[in-house]
Amino acid sequence: TQSDLVRLTECSEGVVKEYVGILAKSNHIKEIGKRGHEKVWALIKDVGPRRPETPGQVKKSEQAEAAS
């Protein structure tokens, strides 16, 4: 659940909500049920220790190049 992720990562609710939305839209996670009023998510595309690549993601090298 998003509250589990907030507790485990110490990220804000807004950041977790945004990232869960991105991961769901890019088919990395899927809603599998509910716990109380919250959605329960399951990982369906495991990319290992790397951060999932999602649409609109900008690599640091591209950011540095654009800033020059």
What SS3 class is residue 15? Answer: helix
Q: What is the pLDDT of residue 31?
A: 97
Walk along the chain (68 residues) and give the pLDDT tens digit of each residue: 999 999 999 999 999 999 999 999 999 999 999 999 999 999 998 888 888 877 766 555 455 555 55
Q: Where are the domains of the chain?
A: 2-67
Residue from 17, 14, 35, 37 nearest 25 by CA: 17
Counts for the chain of helices (H) and strands (E), in that order: 3, 2
Are 41 and 30 contacting, i.e. CB atoms less than 8 angstroms apart? yes
Using a cut of 0.75, tell me whether the model's pTM lies above it: no
Q: What is the pLDDT of residue 21?
A: 93
